[in-house]
Amino acid sequence: MEQNVPLINVTEELVRGIVRFLLHGPEYPTYCHCEVCEAKASAIALNHLESHYVATVEDRDRAFSYLKQPKQIAEINKQVIHAIHIIGQNTHKS
C-alpha cells in the first residue's frame, strides 16, 4: 500500500520562517513584503545552503537540533540577510 510520506527540507522550514520574521521586522520597512518577494529571498538563501531532507518526525527533530547550533544558525542568518538585500534592490513594490 502506498503512503504519502511527506518529504521535508528542514533548512527550508527554518529559512522561510527567518525570511518572514525579518521582512516583517523593523529593519526592512521599505522592502516589499509580498509573498513573491518572500519566496524569492527564501530561494536565493536556500540555493546557498545545505539541504537537510527528512521523512520522519524523529529525523526532523534531529535536523532541527543540528541546524539550531550557533554556527549553523549564523550561516543561515548570513545567507538570509544577503538574499533579502538582493531582493530589496529589486523594483518590485506592491
Site residues for Zn ion, 31-60, by CB under 5 A, read 32, 34, 36-37
Report the run of H or E that residue 9 belongs to, with start and end.
strand 8-9
Cell matching residue 1: 500500500
Considering beta carbons, is residue 68 or 85 the nearer one to Zn ion?
85
Contact stretch for Zn ion (CB under 5 A) within 2-10, 13-21, 27-35, 66-74: 27-35
**Distance (Å, rounded) from C-alpha 56 to C-alpha 31?**
36
CB of 47 to Zn ion, least distance (A): 19
**What are 75's strand-pairing partners?**
none
Considering beta carbons, is residue 68 or 92 the nearer one to Zn ion?
92
